[in-house]
Amino acid sequence: MAIKTDNGLSGERIAKVMARAGLASRREAEAWIAAGRVSVNGAVISSPALNVTPSDNIVVDGTPLRSRERTRLFLYHKPRGLVTTHSDPQGRDTIFRALPKGLPRLISVGRLDINTEGLLLLTNDGGLARVLELPATGWLRRYRVRALGRVQQDALDRLRSGITIDGIRYGPIEATLDREQGANVWLTVGIREGKNREVRKVLETLGLKVNRLIRVAFGPFELGELNDGAVREIETEKLRETLGADIAAAANADFIAPIAEPADDKLRGKTKPPSAPRHGAPPRKRDERKERPSQRRWEKRERRRRDRTGGPRPSRPRSK
């Protein structure tokens, strides 16, 4: 069956359109097309080498492709023990299963490995994710690192010219020795490429074994006081201002389109109002200390769990 569509210069590649709709990354969209999950104007397609226009009818898994939403960006404090993927063949917990309810369909800007914690950017716009991942964008990823071993600042300074490990070239790395603590050292490390396990591999060449890795910043966005496992949305005007005209244009970001799904109050730093007491029941007393001794025991256990090494407290993924 022939596909009737405008394949001229006015259209865009279908995988790109699917990504911008927040349905999947471009790579995922291409895989879905190859699997026969996508049809255009009533005909199933098998190749992403197709341009489409807004007038074309695109259906994925039997559901019409939704209209493009406004470009949105979220800051997420990823806990350790979660995989940065929508599904894991090994059955491990993923960040997308752990996210709060009420979020749109999101993809991650790059990845953090299972034992790395800290700031992960999430967006509903595949075009923006792709641009922010590019080394050419030049955004610095900054990490707090705890590692077993000893190192001198001059050895760290030499990383500014880059390093080659097992035939892989890593670009300039900014590293500062913050302090020594017992058998460990604390470092601040900045990279711009984000290659697979880059920080761990580079520090291993200096005789350091990383035992804690926390991303605290990605470009102009910082982890700050965002709680472990929490999500915060960047307001549209702030996002437009922070990205700047060049990145917004390269990503073809849309700051005008409507938001299809209401945002969860928790994403804006609000808390849910306290539930009303049952009919006829007296309101709770303000002095919780006398009424909730179990809370005090929980707080004592939490204090004992706190990491005393100077970094944020380690986290454990919630049991499912």
The residues assigned a catalytic role are 113
**Beta carbons of 51 and 5 less than 8 angstroms apart:** yes
User: Which residues are registered as beta bridge partners of 94?
Assistant: 83
C-alpha distances (whole Å) from 76 to each of 53, 107, 111, 112, 148 are 34, 12, 12, 11, 28
The residue type at 169: R
Distance CA 318, CA 80 (A): 10
Question: Chain centroid to CA 262: how far?
Answer: 20
Q: Is 182 left (phi over 0), alpha (psi -120 to 50) or beta?
A: left
Residue 82, token pair as written in the block: 């979660």
Strand pairing category for 209-218 and 116-123? parallel
Residue 314, token pair as written in the block: 């380690």
Neighbours of 210 (CB within 10 A): 23
Q: Is 105 left (phi over 0), alpha (psi -120 to 50) or beta?
A: beta
